[in-house]
Amino acid sequence: LWCKQHDERNDINKKDSIMKYSYLGKTGMKVPVLSFGASSLGGVFRSVSEAEAIRAVFTAIEHGMTFIDVSPYYGHTKAETVLGGALTELPRESFLLSTKVGRYGANGVNLWDYSAQRTRESVFESMERLHVDYIDLINVHDIEFADLSQVINETLPTLVELREKGLVGHVGITDLQLENLKWVIDRVPEGTVESVLNFCHYSLNDDRLADFLDYFEAKGIGVINASPFSMGLLSQRGVPEWHPAPAALVEACRKASDYCLSQGYPIEKLAIQFSVSNPRIGTTLFSSANPDNVLKNIQYIEEPIDWDLVAKVKEIIGDQQRVTWKNT
């Protein structure tokens, strides 16, 4: 049960909270400007303590990060399982939950299946792992790996059917490639896709998502931004070995990070402040299995951003601005 200690802490933080909220497109979902991405709970980036990961979820919810995004792909079901353990101790009305279909994994091998049958099975499997009987938002995950015609004719109609039955609240699609999101939306009935999730395209080194906001708004589609640190590019730690960014971009971001450090302003702070600064973007996802890190980043967005430093960082990154990479 949601213990008395958590109730007391939640009451205090509700009084002190200055988290900003907006509505995600026409879904009616009221989402915080900064939301909790649960990929880290699956040990996607490094090994995690399950107990610490659950505390990270509690910390996020207590401080207003009431929208949680996960996927069966993260940690090959581990993220959903760990998150489900935390959600059993939270009142269902205290959070909005998003998960995905289409991208999976088992025994260390990545798998993709966008068929109607697997899509339907996946939704119920996720509900079981998450200990819920209703998912607020269900996304087709990384559609660039799919036959887009199958997404249009099979995956999305299956999710719409589940939406009509009341098992899921809303339907969305996710991808690194913005053009794919638009291509699908242009070819399905209006209202089929209610939100999009795009990552690494509204950050200090790449703000290309801004070019598509007029289109999404015209369609009434909510926008979820993810990876404000560009998967580690915008961090003092630097990128992991598997990062797909080209070497010139990695080096440019390293120089930008060093400059921020010399100014006593961690690049992580500037990066997350920038990513949440656009009011046309419903929410930005940030992931950590460390409760202290969750709290630190919430505190970052409560402080005013240094726009002069943003300009300097963009100058340092220079011709590597908007340089992207292929999804992996």
pTM score, two decimals?
A: 0.94
What is the pLDDT, as a whole number, of residue 103? 98
Q: Which of 74, 104, 114, 300 is catalytic?
A: 74
Range name among 5-19, 134-148, 272-286, 289-303 with the lowest pLDDT average: 5-19
- Mean local confidence (pLDDT), 197-215: 98
* Chain mean pLDDT for the chain: 93
What is the pLDDT, as a whole number, of residue 13? 42
| Calpha distance 81→66 (Å, rounded) | 19
Structure confidence at residue 14 as a pLDDT band (50, 70, 90): very low
Residues 261, 225, 17, 65, Cα dihedral to 10°: -110
Residue 74 designated active-site: yes
Among 117, 122, 32, which Cα is nearest to 76's?
122
User: In the predicted model, is pLDDT for residue 269 greater than 70?
Assistant: yes
- Residue 212 corresponds to which amino acid? F
| Calpha distance 291→187 (Å, rounded) | 42
| Calpha distance 37→294 (Å, rounded) | 11
Structure tokens at 81: 């399982």
DSSP states along 171-184: EEEEES-HHHHHHH
What is the pLDDT, as a whole number, of residue 18? 83
Structure confidence at residue 1 as a pLDDT band (50, 70, 90): very low
Residue-wise pLDDT for 124-145, tens only, equals 999 999 999 999 999 999 999 9
User: In the predicted model, is pLDDT for residue 260 greater than 80?
Assistant: yes
More confident residue, 44 or 225: 225
Bridge partner residues of 30 (DSSP): 23
What is the pLDDT, as a whole number, of residue 5? 35
Structure confidence at residue 17 as a pLDDT band (50, 70, 90): low
- Mean local confidence (pLDDT), 207-233: 98
- Mean local confidence (pLDDT), 188-195: 98
User: In the predicted model, is pLDDT for residue 216 greater than 60?
Assistant: yes
What is the pLDDT, as a whole number, of residue 46? 66
Structure tokens at 84: 């489900």
What is the pLDDT, as a whole number, of residue 6? 40
